[in-house]
Amino acid sequence: MNELPRRKGLPLVICAPSGAGKTTLVTKLRAEFPLDFSISCTTRAPRGNEKDGIDYIFLSKDEFRSRIDAGYFAEWAEVHGNYYGTPLKPVRDSLDAGRDILFDIDVQGAAQISLSLPEARFVFILPPSIGELERRLRGRGTDSDESVRLRLSHAASEIRESHWFDAVVVNDDLDAAYVRLRAFYLADTLQPSLNPALAQAVISV
Ligand code: ADP
Ligand code: 5GP
């Protein structure tokens, strides 16, 4: 008997200017659904109580460059003066096993993923305003004044890229924003291309 094709994993890419609430929304989505999470490498220092191997893989710039040369990354980019990159193998492993995987990456990385993973879907989280973005960045209390200013100075150019995304979610009220993000994710998991066996299972005897 022929085996039915397995469900395929959905790559879900979430972008936002720093401070818009992306980590907060991603944490809620991961708490509700058994999604894998692409743990990025970065050359920036750990922030708050971030843990190596859980929030990021923290590398020196030399270590990061050797991994670029070794073809270790699905994509990488320089963001706010540091390198950030997505290790390729865990992404392949998740998708091959039919598990959905979340990417919290910047717009340059998202553009690269759109070329290498055409099945990926892209969500942009917008802050309600630049003033509120600054309040959130300062309220988070994890970035120096210089880092806050650097992040704010990049916000407008990142937001200008939101037009090519599949969905834009304004993170005004957190619960309302989460409902919209959740709805987009659930709708996407229903794509026939990710579920090639469903129709076949009904019509095959
Ligand atoms: P990002 O990952 O996009 O940099 P965070 O998730 O760290 O942003 O959120 C930045 C700050 O804003 C955090 O202190 C977080 O608690 C707060 N925050 C997130 N969403 C909201 C919201 N809807 N309303 C008010 N504050 C929020
Ligand atoms: P932060 O320093 O606030 O954690 O992240 C800064 C920016 O880098 C955010 O926009 C975040 O999404 C992005 N980022 C995190 N990991 C990666 C990655 O692997 N690749 C790319 N291109 N950007 C990343």
* DSSP sequence for 137-183: HHHH--S-HHHHHHHHHHHHHHHHGGGGSSEEEE-SSHHHHHHHHHH
Task: Label residue 69 by pLDDT band (50, 70, 90).
Answer: very high
Residue having the nearest C-alpha atom to atom 10 of ligand 2: 106
C-alpha 79/C-alpha 15 separation (Å) is 13
Q: Looking at residue 2, what is its pLDDT?
A: 64
130 — phi, psi (to 5°)? -70, -35
pTM (two decimals): 0.93
Q: Give, for ligand 2, the residue of 26, 54, 91, 104 to mutate: max count of ligand atoms closer than 8 Å to Cβ.
A: 104
Is 175 buried (19+), middle (13-18) or exposed (0-12) by CB count in 10 A? exposed
Are the C-beta atoms of 185 and 43 separated by less than 8 Å? no
Are the C-beta atoms of 25 and 14 separated by less than 8 Å? yes
- Single-letter residue type at 199: A
State the ligand closest to the CA atom of 125. Answer: 1
Q: Looking at residue 200, what is its pLDDT?
A: 85
Residues with CB under 6 Å of ligand 1 are 16, 18-24, 136, 139-140, 171, 173-174, 177
Task: Label residue 205 by pLDDT band (50, 70, 90).
Answer: low
> Could you report the per-residue pLDDT of 80-134, keeping only the tens digit for each?
899 999 999 999 999 999 999 999 999 999 999 999 999 999 999 999 999 999 9
pLDDT at 31 over 90: yes
Whole-number mean pLDDT of the chain?
94
